[in-house]
Chains A and B, each alone.
Chain A
Amino acid sequence: MTAEKIDITSTELVSKKYRKRSAFVAIWNRLKKNKGAVLGLVILVLVTLLAIFAPVIYNYESDVIEQNVMNRLKPPSAEHWCGTDDLGRDILARIVFGARYSLAIGVVSVIISLIFGVTLGAAAGYVGGAFEDVIMRITDIFSSIPSILMAIAIVSALGKSTFNLMVAVGVSSTPTFVRVARAAVLSVRGEEYVESARAIGMRDWKIILVHILPNCVSQIIVQATLRVAQAIIASAGLSFLGLGVPAPAPEWGSMLSAGRAYIRNSSYLTIFPGLAIMITVLSLNLIGDGLRDAIDPKLKR
């Protein structure tokens, strides 16, 4: 009797371990075959490495911030690969340091919206009833305000700072995660393993954390990757309007806004920061698309 019991548990453990690993490996194997996703991963790793090692390559004070009027508006050359801006600062150095802002803002704002969105959405989906109705109606209200306008209003109300920019972009993309998390929870709520967890007296929040969310994680990761891409565009847009990271920090959107005045004769001021945004966002979109296909091959065509 005892031996039999141990036996079952150990097989279950083995199969559980095996299944967990194989699901991950299967997704990774499918992702590896997707050329676009691999390209996206390579670009994103490069951009991230540049952002991390920016202080090794350039000196923030002397290359990025310090103004040098003698050097102003120099076109791209061997010394300054992307030219210099109106204050004589190396554009490439500013773009490399700007990657730190864009990646940090993109990731942190999505983490903010994940925390609020997934908590509210999962709770709404799990609890149901009037609670769900209230949460979803509030989500409807939030999502009917055009998100960029809402972000503009939030930044202007809270004041211009990098953190407030993250909050503004995060709040304006929260409704997406409420919806995704709720839909994901609804799709597994009725499963037997959830019912049995409830039957053995597990607390609700623990059921959500241990049994429900791990089964919805893939959909949330795909959405999060794509949202980081959109958050980078949104924050660059706010900085472009003068509502983002305060000067003299090298944010890509504010670099574009500063370069606008010189577009006629020094178009490199406008071209390179925009390329940086596009390449970073493209890499995230490629990864997001690839992940979606890898996680659910049925959707792929």
Chain B
Amino acid sequence: MHRYIFKRLLMLIPVLLGVVFIIFFIMDLAPGDPVYMVAGDQATEEELDALREQLGLSGNIFTRYLRYVNNMLHGDFGTSFVTKRDVFKTYMERLPNTIRLASLAMIIAIVVSIPLGIIAAVHQNSLKDTASMVLSLLGLSMPNFWLGLLLILVFSLRLGWLPSGGYTGFRSIILPALTVASGLAALLTRTTRSSMLDVIRQDYLRTARSKGVTERKVINKHALCNALIPIITVFGIQFSNVLGGSALAETVFSWPGVGRLVVDAINQRDIPTVTGALVMTTMLVSIVNLAVDIVYAYVDPRIKAQYTK
């Protein structure tokens, strides 16, 4: 098992190096010399050169990439062109807000979707099944930022129950979390349903029933536990979409998280902040995906067996 974790950690290194290079390459395509943004129009050629050296903008893309990776390994993600603050520090200040939003959204999605998916599978082709499938199809088809706007319209402006934006304690997190949760809940409902349907006809369920195990226990214990693996897989893959999708939700609700940090930085052409935030977000996604993989290696002995051979 330790060998498996170690192997996966080693495999993460080239992926992350590649991610940094791709982001670096994309940001390099941006027109204009960023040094003017910092220096202004009045600077002389010597001043510009000195500044380029200082900001790490001299040299070709490969030298800059290597320098960036080197700095990154020392925890230095550069300094914002706009606020002149350390990118790493700014990101870390914003990250807890996004984590809070993403975790509440994921909890809401799980609490709603797993029971809904189970009910749909147990009562296949009934009205309950159709209703939950229609609901999840609508959830998948709705742009989450539009849902966010509708929630603001109903719960903040018409009913006045919840704040429409900003970060002012727990009440302000509910609407953004529902917004981020919608797509994930829809997808998880469908996954739970189809995964349960796969399991529900297996012989061991019939055996359990004929032993006299109650129907409730058969579903919750025997069926759900075996149906969980595909659900965890989808959940892990979707973490990346939750973080990405929260960029839109954070914009709608003026939520001070990392998604909005990226969007704002892009509008201000603040390249170090964009690069740093994208790199760190991707690192986070990769680490969470690795953690999910390790979790199922523990949950499912069949997966572990593939790696211990």
Residues of A that sit less than 8 Å from B by CB: 137-138, 140-142, 144-150, 152-154, 156-159, 229, 233, 236-237, 240-243, 253, 256, 260, 263-264, 267, 270-271, 274, 277-278, 281-282, 285-286, 289, 301
Contacts and interface: CB of A to CB of B under 8 A. Distances in A.
Contact of B143 (A233, A264, A285): A233
B237 to A, nearest CB: 9
B141 A282 contact: yes
Interface string B236-262: 000011011101100110000001001
B180 interface: no
B248 A241 contact: yes
Interface of B: 14-15, 18-19, 22-23, 26-31, 124, 137-138, 140-143, 145-146, 149-150, 152-153, 157, 194, 197, 240-241, 243-245, 247-248, 251-252, 259, 262-263, 266-267, 269, 274, 278, 281-282, 285-286, 289
Contacts of A264: 157
A150 to B, nearest CB: 8
B247 A263 contact: no
B145 A144 contact: no
Q: Is the interface of B mostly helix, strand, loop or mixed?
A: helix
B230 to A, nearest CB: 14
A269 to B, nearest CB: 10
Given A144-B19, A301-B197, A149 B247 contact: yes
B18 A277 contact: no
Given A144-B289, A241-B263, 10 more contacts: A146-B243, A156-B274, A229-B141, A241-B248, A256-B149, A278-B141, A281-B140, A282-B138, A282-B141, A301-B194
A157 B262 contact: no
A188 B137 CA distance: 32
Contacts of A152: 247, 262-263, 266
Contacts of B259: 149
B31 A159 contact: yes
B285 A144 contact: yes
A139 to B, nearest CB: 10
Nearest to A267: B153
A277 B286 CA distance: 31
A7 B302 CA distance: 52
A153 B267 contact: no
A240 B247 contact: no
Nearest to B142: A278
Given A157-B27, A282-B137, A148 B245 contact: yes
A147 B241 contact: yes
Contacts of A282: 137-138, 141
B18 A263 contact: no
A285 B14 contact: no
Contact of A256 (B28, B146, B286): B146
A237 B248 contact: yes
B150 A270 contact: yes
A159 B259 CA distance: 20
A146 B289 CA distance: 12
Given A146-B241, A153-B274, A274 B146 contact: yes
A142 B20 CA distance: 11
A237 B149 contact: no
Nearest to A284: B141
Nearest to A232: B143
Given A137-B18, A146-B282, A274-B150, A153 B142 contact: no
Nearest to B31: A159
Nearest to A283: B141
Contacts of B138: 278, 282
Nearest to A236: B143
Given A149-B247, A301-B124, A157 B29 contact: yes
B137 A157 contact: no
A237 B15 contact: no
A144 B267 CA distance: 24
Contacts of B142: 274, 278, 281
A241 B241 CA distance: 17
A281 B144 CA distance: 13
B278 A153 contact: yes
Nearest to A148: B244
